[in-house]
Structure 1
Amino acid sequence: MARFLHVSDIHLGFDRYDNKIRTQDFFYALQDALDKYAIAESVDFVVISGDLFEHRNILPNILNQAQLCFQPLQDAGIPILAIEGNHDNRPYGTKTSWLRYLSDWGVVKLLEPGDVAAGEEFYRHWDEETRRGGYIDLPCGVRVLGSNWYGSTAPKAIESIASAIQALPPGPAHTVLLFHHGVEGQISRYQGALRYSELLPLREAGVDYLALGHIHKQYEIEGWIFNPGSTEANSVEEASFPRGVYLVELSADGVKADLKTDYCQRPIVRLRHKVTEHETMDQVEQGAIARIQAAVDMGKIDPSVEPIVELRIEGSIGFNRLDLDVRQLKDQLQHMSGALIFLLKFDAEEMTFDEYVADGSDRTVIEREVFHSLLSANATYKKRAGELAQGLINLKDEYRHGRSDDELYQFVQTLIHTDEL
Structure 2
Amino acid sequence: MNFIHGSDFHLGYVQYGLHERFVDFATTFKAFITYGLEHNVDFILIAGDLFEKRNINAPTYLQAYNVLSQLQDECKSLGRAPIPVIAIEGNHDLAYQRDRNSWLQILESQGMLRLLKSTWDGGLKLDYVDVGNCRVFGVGYLGASTMQSIPLIDREIQKINQGMDQSISPCTSQARPHANSEVDSAHGVCRRLDRFTVLTMHFGMEEQARSVVAGEIPYSALLPLRECVDYLALGHYHNQYEYDHWVYNGGSLELFSLNEYGLKKGFYHVTDSGADLVTIPTRQFKRLSGNISSVKTPSEISLLVQSIVESETPVDSKLSPIVELTLWGNLNFPKKDVPLPELREMVKKRFGCLYADVHIKQTNDCYTLHESDIVGMSREQIETKILREQILQDGRYKLCVKQVVSDTVEAKKLALQRINEKEIIRLLKQSFDQIQLHKKQAREENNAGMLPFMRGDVT
TM-score bucket of the superposed structures, by smaller chain: 0.7 to 0.9
Q: What does the per-residue CA deviation read over 1:5-50, in whole Å, with 9 as the maximum and x for residues that have no partner?
A: 1010000001231111011111111111221x20111000000000
Confirm whether residue 268 of structure 1 aligns to residue 266 of structure 2.
no
What is the aligned partner in structure 2 of residue 366 from structure 1?
none
Query: In 2, distance between residues paired with 1:174 and 1:32?
Result: 26
Q: Secondary structure at the match of 2:311?
A: helix
Alignment check: 8 A CA contact 1:51 1:214 kept: yes
Cα gap change, 1:294/1:304 in structure 2, threshold over 3 Å: closer, same or farther? farther
What is the aligned partner in structure 2 of residue 122 from structure 1?
125
What is the aligned partner in structure 2 of residue 103 from structure 1?
108
Alignment check: 8 A CA contact 1:10 1:30 kept: yes
Alignment check: 8 A CA contact 1:321 1:350 kept: no
Alignment check: 8 A CA contact 1:137 1:172 kept: no
Query: In 1, distance between residues paired with 2:295 and 2:21?
Result: 39
What is the aligned partner in structure 1 of residue 40 from structure 2?
42
Alignment check: 8 A CA contact 2:48 2:140 kept: no
Q: Which amino acid aligns with 1:340?
A: L
Which of 293, 296, 318 is matched with 1:279 structurally? Answer: 296
Superposed displacement of residue 210, structure 1: 0.2
Q: What does the per-residue CA deviation read over 1:194-236, in whole Å, with 9 as the maximum and x for residues that have no partner?
A: 01111112222x1100000000000110000000100111011
Confirm whether residue 10 of structure 1 aligns to residue 13 of structure 2.
no
Confirm whether residue 258 of structure 1 aligns to residue 276 of structure 2.
yes
Confirm whether residue 147 of structure 1 aligns to residue 150 of structure 2.
no
What is the aligned partner in structure 2 of residue 165 from structure 1?
157
Q: Which amino acid aligns with 1:339?
A: C
Query: In 2, distance between residues paired with 1:18 and 1:46?
Result: 30
Alignment check: 8 A CA contact 1:147 1:178 kept: yes
Which of 79, 85, 106 is matched with 2:90 structurally? Answer: 85
TM-score normalized with structure 2 length:
0.68
Superposed displacement of residue 93, structure 1: 5.0
TM-score normalized with structure 1 length:
0.74
Cα gap change, 1:238/1:331 in structure 2, threshold over 3 Å: closer, same or farther? same
Q: What does the per-residue CA deviation read over 1:240-286, in whole Å, with 9 as the maximum and x for residues that have no partner?
A: 1100111111x3xxx6111111x241101111112233532111112
What is the aligned partner in structure 2 of residue 417 from structure 1?
none
Q: Which amino acid aligns with 1:83?
A: I
What is the aligned partner in structure 2 of residue 407 from structure 1?
none
Alignment check: 8 A CA contact 1:4 1:247 kept: yes
Query: In 2, distance between residues paired with 1:211 and 1:318?
Result: 51
Alignment check: 8 A CA contact 2:295 2:301 kept: no
Q: How does 1:363-374 map to 2 (within 5 A)?
A: none
Alignment check: 8 A CA contact 2:284 2:317 kept: no
Gaps of 5+ in 1: 124-133, 352-421
Query: In 2, distance between residues paired with 1:234 and 1:109?
Result: 26
Q: Secondary structure at the match of 1:78?
A: coil
Q: Which amino acid aligns with 2:298?
A: M
Query: In 2, distance between residues paired with 1:242 and 1:158?
Result: 27
Alignment check: 8 A CA contact 1:269 1:309 kept: yes
Q: Secondary structure at the match of 1:167?
A: helix
What is the aligned partner in structure 2 of residue 196 from structure 1?
219
Query: In 2, distance between residues paired with 1:322 and 1:307?
Result: 28
What is the aligned partner in structure 2 of residue 56 from structure 1?
54
Query: In 1, distance between residues paired with 2:316 and 2:309?
Result: 11
Query: In 2, distance between residues paired with 1:302 and 1:285?
Result: 25
Query: In 2, distance between residues paired with 1:172 and 1:110?
Result: 24
Superposed displacement of residue 112, structure 1: 0.9
Query: In 2, distance between residues paired with 1:29 and 1:16?
Result: 14
Q: What does the per-residue CA deviation read over 1:282-333, in whole Å, with 9 as the maximum and x for residues that have no partner?
A: 11112112211221xx34x347531010101112232212112213322342
What is the aligned partner in structure 1 of residue 350 from structure 2?
336
Q: Which amino acid aligns with 1:287?
A: L
Alignment check: 8 A CA contact 1:32 1:264 kept: no
Alignment check: 8 A CA contact 1:303 1:338 kept: no
Q: Secondary structure at the match of 1:28?
A: helix
Cα gap change, 1:115/1:350 in structure 2, threshold over 3 Å: closer, same or farther? closer
Q: Which amino acid aligns with 1:151?
A: G
Query: In 1, distance between residues paired with 2:295 and 2:71?
Result: 61
Query: In 1, distance between residues paired with 2:318 and 2:252?
Result: 25
Q: How does 1:389-400 map to 2 (within 5 A)?
A: none
Aligned-residue Cα RMSD (Å) equals 1.9
Aligned residues: 327
Superposed displacement of residue 350, structure 1: 9.1
Alignment check: 8 A CA contact 1:122 1:164 kept: yes
Q: Secondary structure at the match of 2:287?
A: strand
Gaps of 5+ in 2: 76-81, 165-192, 366-459
Alignment check: 8 A CA contact 1:33 1:264 kept: no
Q: What does the per-residue CA deviation read over 1:69-118, in whole Å, with 9 as the maximum and x for residues that have no partner?
A: 2123323211000000001112235421100000111100001113423x
Alignment check: 8 A CA contact 2:54 2:102 kept: yes
Query: In 2, distance between residues paired with 1:302 and 1:287?
Result: 24
Identity %: 35
Alignment check: 8 A CA contact 1:50 1:82 kept: yes
Alignment check: 8 A CA contact 1:312 1:346 kept: yes
